[in-house]
Amino acid sequence: MTEECELFECGHRACGGCGPALAARLILKATGENTIVVASTGCMEVFSTPYPETAWKVPWIHSLFENAAAVASGIEASLKKQERDEHVVCICGDGATFDIGMLCISGAFERGHDITYICYDNEAYMNTGIQRSGATPYDADTTTSPAGKCSTGNPRPKKDLPAILAAHGATYVATASIAYPNDLIKKVQRAVSTHGPNYIQVHAPCATGWGFDGSQTIAVGRLAIETGLWVNYEMMNGEVERVRKVAHRKPVDDYLSVQKRFRHLYRPGRNEDEIAKIQAIADANAKKFGIDLNVVKEE
Amino acid sequence: MMEILEGSHAVAEAVRLCRPQVVAAYPITPQTHIVEALASMVADCKLDAEYICVESEFSALSACLGASAAGSRVYSATTSQGLALMFEVCFNVAGMRQPIVMTIANRALGAPLNIWNDQQDSISLRDAGWLQFYAEDNQEATDLHFIAYRVAEDHRVLLPVMVCFDGFILTHTYEPVDIPSQEAIDAFLPPYKPVNILDAKNPMSLGMYATPDYYMEFRYEIDQAQKRAKEVFAEVGAEFAKQFGRDYSGLVEGYRLEDADMAFIAMGSICGTVREAIDEMRAEGKKVGLLKIRSFRPFPSEEIRAALSGVSKVAVLDKNISLGQKGAVALEVRDALYGSEIDVKGYILALGGRDVRQADIKAIAGLLEKGEGDQFFGLRTEVL
Ligand SMILES: Cc1ncc(C[n+]2csc(CCOP(=O)(O)OP(=O)(O)O)c2C)c(N)n1
Ligand code: SF4
Ligand SMILES: [Mg+2]
């Protein structure tokens, strides 16, 4: 990307190779400066706004861990009353979104506020030390879903939040990944130019929490797509419109084996049963969204 | 104009006259009539506000916070369980210095579930940073809203306010109330002029996190603003008195205290009962008076000391209890009078709507005379 004025400044305190920090930068490139950002408590809030410093060159507000959607509702109502036209954009972690903030999100989406809610999904509570969330994938090792003698890690699959919010009547719902920046930018642009409520879930690999080298963030993000464990798609008024296809879907091992959070699946030997279950998740995704370009149609 | 109005409707009229631009509230007994009345006003174009029909009190106050941060005058109302659900947001609103005004229709907290009046709900949030004003009757409840916005939005203060009035006892009671004209209120309460707002033309970060290097100073600033609110309240109250002829400039208000030897201290509607009991006791030759606390936050320690300089015994009536300790008002009054010779006794009464009559007040005077206090009053020992 060319050097240009960034609305999310460098000099913040994220770990090297932080996927969420990249997400913030790309999101603001797309929204432009006529934007008010509403944040939740979490890594991004902490690494970007240690008083008296801030990385945000757009108006930004943080209140609590779980109320961004409600705060955004109030901002939107206030702007409407003042006939102002800033985009109201929530940028919140998966814990804030999938778990503790669900009440406020459900209310805001049901009421139909013109807001865009973006979840930067690093698949656990990173700020408090890598605890599981409703977005943590099956079998991931976190500090509250530890792998052990009688545990293979997180016992539940990821919650399908895009479907839940589409069912609320969200206008535009999309998934994206920091590994595909142009696609992410286009989706955010589409969201802020569409009357909301809109939801975008951005896959944002976390080097520290997932256990990979900070130079590999994009590569890990790509592998999630290439294995079918993450699918990039768009929905308009509840209908899936566009899906990112995959030419030669890779086995899930390619994604799992490069992250420490899945290391237990390969020690002492490859855990055939568990990896087969994860492969089945990828296969189900592929089938549901029709991502495979090279499938032989069975008749 | 004088009207016979239900307390809730009088308050709703007051709120309308304050011209809030955003209202977000969630229904809960005994606050419901206020928010229903406001919804009707919006539906009938009598109130030009965005009314956000939120899914919870937690979201109500969160939405108010967002709307206030974006530059609007906002309003909410709640009580009891609803206020408890707002706990986290309450601290946040004060910490972010948003001058939100919220009516509290005081009600007991469960368990056991109880919809009737006491003041445990707002008292339990005394440390949140909000100013807290308590009304004795519906005229005062009405007028305190005008004053509340003025004090909250004053740039020397910039803190949220809870206007507290007793659930059912006031909210559901019809009384003659003078509702000022819109012109008069517009002259008294100009449009909100925020200091720092969310604005793309002048980007700013609000609600950042503060390390141990900075946090204490934020808390200190709020405490200072609370203290400045005393003089602002007196100033605004005096201005209101001049314009409307009703004087609320005192953080406390005395009744027949001049030559009193014994004084009651109370907050809210119970003061009316105490006044009548005092008149009866005065007729019987007892030198008793009342000191009503109008502002619990900021707490009027100096004013209490000054007002009670001549008395030797004080009975504090608490419609709340810090369980395992005493009533909150008694504790703070004792602190205010520390070092004086005055004997302060606390009485926990009227919890969960238990009725209090003049005879009860007189009985408490009897206990105080005997030096008996720091106890529950009016317990039904037969069911214990
Ligand atoms: C009500 C409440 N409960 C718990 C916390 C502690 N807490 C702060 S951030 C956080 C996790 C954030 O997770 P997520 O939203 O996924 O953001 P991330 O840190 O992963 O970027 C938790 C549990 C809190 N601040 N508030
Ligand atoms: S822990 Fe993860 S999300 Fe948090 S700053 Fe580090 S890389 Fe980013
Ligand atoms: Mg997270």
User: What does the pLDDT look like over A226-282, one tens digit per residue?
Assistant: 999 999 999 999 999 999 999 999 999 999 999 999 999 999 999 999 999 999 999
For residue B93, give both structure tokens. 């609103």
Residue to mutate, A22, A122, A202, A259, ligand 2, most ligand atoms under 8 Å from C-beta: A122
Q: Specify the DSSP class assigned to residue B118.
A: -
Q: Is the four-CA dihedral A177, A181, A186, A188 of positive or negative sign?
A: positive
Cα–Cα distance for residue pair A1/A181, rounded to 1 Å: 10
* A11 Cα–ligand 3 center, Å: 21
Cα–Cα distance for residue pair B107/B27, rounded to 1 Å: 14
With contact defined as beta carbons under 8 Å apart, do A49 and A55 qualify? Answer: yes
Kindly provide the residue ranges of all beta strands, DSSP E only, lying in B232-351, ordered along the sequence. 252-255, 262-266, 288-293, 295-297, 313-318, 343-348
Kindly provide the residue ranges of all beta strands, DSSP E only, lying in chain B, ordered along the sequence. 2-6, 22-24, 50-52, 74-78, 101-106, 131-134, 161-166, 174-178, 205-206, 252-255, 262-266, 288-293, 295-297, 313-318, 343-348, 375-376
Residue with CA at minimum distance from ligand 2 atom 5? A14
At residue A76's C-alpha, the angle toward residues A73 and A79, to 5°, is: 150
With contact defined as beta carbons under 8 Å apart, do B172 and B166 qualify? Answer: no
Verify whether ligand 1 is closer than 6 Å to residue A127 (CB atom). Answer: yes
**Which of A54, A57, A61, A110 is most worth mutating to test chain B (most B CB atoms within 10 A of its CB)?**
A61
With contact defined as beta carbons under 8 Å apart, do A136 and A123 qualify? Answer: yes
Interface of B with A (CB under 8 A): 21-22, 24, 49-50, 52-56, 58-60, 62-72, 74, 88-89, 92, 96, 198-200, 202-211, 214
Beta bridge partners of A236: A172, A239
Cα–Cα distance for residue pair A169/A110, rounded to 1 Å: 7
Last residue of a domain, one of B244, B271, B296: B244
Residue A257 in domain:
yes
Q: Which of B21, B200, B208 sits opposite A36 (nearest CB)?
A: B200
Residue A191 in domain:
yes
Nearest to A86 by CA among A31, A28, A35, A30: A35
Q: Specify the DSSP class assigned to residue A261.
A: G
With contact defined as beta carbons under 8 Å apart, do B47 and B75 qualify? Answer: no
The set of residues, in sequence order, having a beta carbon less than 8 Å from that of A35 and lying 6+ positions away, is A7, A28, A58, A59, A86, A87, A88, A89, A192, B200
Q: Are residues B304 and B200 in the same domain?
A: no
Residue A17 pLDDT grade (very low, low, confident, very high; cuts 50, 70, 90): very high
Residue with CA at minimum distance from ligand 1 atom 16? A95
Q: Which of residues 100-119 of A touch B (CB under 8 A)?
A: 103-104, 106-108, 110-111
With contact defined as beta carbons under 8 Å apart, do B27 and B35 qualify? Answer: yes
Q: Which residues surround ligand 3, an ion (CB under 5 A)?
A: A 93-94, 122, 126
What is the per-residue pLDDT across A61-94, written as a single tens digit (0 to 9) for each? Answer: 999 999 999 999 999 999 999 999 999 999 999 9
Q: Are residues B311 and B192 in the same domain?
A: no
Where do the H-state alpha helices sit in A32-67? 43-48
Q: Which of residues 225-254 of A touch B (CB under 8 A)?
A: none
Domain coverage including residue A102: 19-289
Verify whether ligand 1 is closer than 6 Å to residue A199 (CB atom). Answer: no
Q: Are residues B237 and B333 in the same domain?
A: no
Closest CA–CA distance from residue A237 to any residue of chain B (Å): 23
Residue with tokens 């409307």: B244
Asked whether the beta carbons of residue B89 and residue A33 sit closer than 8 angstroms, the reply is no
Residue A3 in domain:
no
The set of residues, in sequence order, having a beta carbon less than 8 Å from that of B12 and lying 6+ positions away, is B33, B34, B37, B38, B41
Could you tell me the mean pLDDT of each successive run of 10 residues in chain B, 384 residues long?
A: 97 98 98 98 98 98 98 98 98 98 98 98 98 98 98 98 98 98 98 97 97 98 98 98 98 97 98 98 98 98 97 98 98 98 98 98 98 98 95
Residues of chain B neighbouring A76 (CB-CB closer than 8 A): 66
| The predicted structure's pLDDT at residue B36 | 98
Q: Are residues B189 and B270 in the same domain?
A: no
Residue A1 pLDDT grade (very low, low, confident, very high; cuts 50, 70, 90): very low
Residue A294 pLDDT grade (very low, low, confident, very high; cuts 50, 70, 90): confident
Last residue of a domain, one of B244, B269, B296: B244
CB environment A3-39: b (16+ within 10 A), e (fewer) = eeeebbbeebebbebbbbbbbbbbbbbbbeeebbbbb
| The predicted structure's pLDDT at residue B302 | 98
* A209 Cα–ligand 2 center, Å: 7
Nearest to B286 by CA among B361, B216, B228, B378: B361
Closest CA–CA distance from residue B312 to any residue of chain A (Å): 48
Asked whether the beta carbons of residue A80 and residue B89 sit closer than 8 angstroms, the reply is no
| The predicted structure's pLDDT at residue B382 | 96
Q: Are residues B234 and B264 in the same domain?
A: no
Q: Are residues B86 and B174 in the same domain?
A: yes
Domain coverage including residue B318: 252-383
Q: Which of B22, B53, B64 sits opposite A111 (nearest CB)?
A: B53
The CATH number given to whatever domain includes residue B262 is: 3.40.50.920
Asked whether the beta carbons of residue A74 and residue B206 sit closer than 8 angstroms, the reply is no
Q: Are residues B76 and B191 in the same domain?
A: yes
* A15 Cα–ligand 1 center, Å: 17
Residue A50: closest CA among chain B residues belongs to which residue? B209
Burial class (CB in 10 A: 0-12, 13-18, 19+), B284: exposed
Residues of chain A neighbouring B216 (CB-CB closer than 8 A): none
| The predicted structure's pLDDT at residue B132 | 99
Instruction: Say how many C-beta atoms besides its own lie within 10 A of residue B126's C-beta.
Output: 18
Last residue of a domain, one of B192, B213, B244: B244
By DSSP bridging, strand A172-177 and strand A60-62 are unpaired
Domain count, chain A: 1
The set of residues, in sequence order, having a beta carbon less than 8 Å from that of A255 and lying 6+ positions away, is A220, A223, A224, A226, A227, A229
Cα–Cα distance for residue pair A119/A97, rounded to 1 Å: 7
Asked whether the beta carbons of residue A60 and residue B205 sit closer than 8 angstroms, the reply is yes
Residue A12 in domain:
no
Cα–Cα distance for residue pair A271/B169, rounded to 1 Å: 68
A133 Cα nearest atom in ligand 1: 16
Cα–Cα distance for residue pair A109/A70, rounded to 1 Å: 10
Q: Is the four-CA dihedral A209, A210, A214, A217 of positive or negative sign?
A: negative
**What is the interface pTM, i.e. ipTM, of the complex?**
0.97
Cα–Cα distance for residue pair A17/A127, rounded to 1 Å: 16
Rg (CA), chain B: 20
Cα–Cα distance for residue pair A205/A211, rounded to 1 Å: 10
Rg (CA), chain A: 19
Residue A71 in domain:
yes
Cα–Cα distance for residue pair A142/A124, rounded to 1 Å: 8
Residue B207: closest CA among chain A residues belongs to which residue? A62
For residue A238, give both structure tokens. 């509840």
Inter-CA distances, A279 with A217, A228, B321, Å: 22, 9, 59
Q: Which of residues 12-71 of A touch B (CB under 8 A)?
A: 33-36, 38-39, 45-46, 49-52, 54, 56-64, 67, 69-71
* A204 Cα–ligand 3 center, Å: 9
> Does the bond joining B111 to the residue before it have cis omega, within 30 degrees of 0?
yes
Residue A63: closest CA among chain B residues belongs to which residue? B207
Q: Are residues B237 and B284 in the same domain?
A: no
The set of residues, in sequence order, having a beta carbon less than 8 Å from that of A38 and lying 6+ positions away, is A60, A61, A62, A63, A68, A71, A72, A75, A88, A89, A90, A91, A92, B66
Residue A186 pLDDT > 80: yes
* A139 Cα–ligand 2 center, Å: 20
Report chain A's mean pLDDT, rounded to a whole number: 96
Residues of chain B neighbouring A58 (CB-CB closer than 8 A): 200, 203
**Which of B62, B68, B88 is most worth mutating to test chain A (most A CB atoms within 10 A of its CB)?**
B62
With contact defined as beta carbons under 8 Å apart, do B122 and B132 qualify? Answer: yes
Residue A38 pLDDT > 50: yes
Domain count, chain B: 2
The CATH number given to whatever domain includes residue A81 is: 3.40.50.970
| The predicted structure's pLDDT at residue A298 | 53
Task: Report yes or no: A154 at the B interface, CB cutoff 8 Å.
Answer: no
Asked whether the beta carbons of residue A64 and residue B89 sit closer than 8 angstroms, the reply is yes
| The predicted structure's pLDDT at residue A296 | 62
For residue B204, give both structure tokens. 């700013």
With contact defined as beta carbons under 8 Å apart, do A51 and A60 qualify? Answer: no
Q: State the angle between helix axes of B57-69 and A68-82 in degrees (0 to 180), rounded to the nearest 10.
A: 50
* B67 Cα–ligand 1 center, Å: 24
Inter-CA distances, B103 with A29, A225, B83, B93, Å: 42, 52, 10, 15
A40 Cα nearest atom in ligand 1: 15
Residue with CA at minimum distance from ligand 2 atom 8? A18
Q: Are residues B330 and B286 in the same domain?
A: yes
Residue A239 in domain:
yes
What is the per-residue pLDDT across A125-183, written as a single tens digit (0 to 9) for each? Answer: 999 999 999 999 999 999 999 999 999 999 999 999 999 999 999 999 999 999 999 99
Residue A6 in domain:
no
With contact defined as beta carbons under 8 Å apart, do B170 and B135 qualify? Answer: yes
Residue A297 in domain:
no
Closest ligand relative to A40 C-alpha: 1
Mind giving me the DSSP string for B154-185?
STTT---EEEEEETTTTTT-EEEEE---HHHH
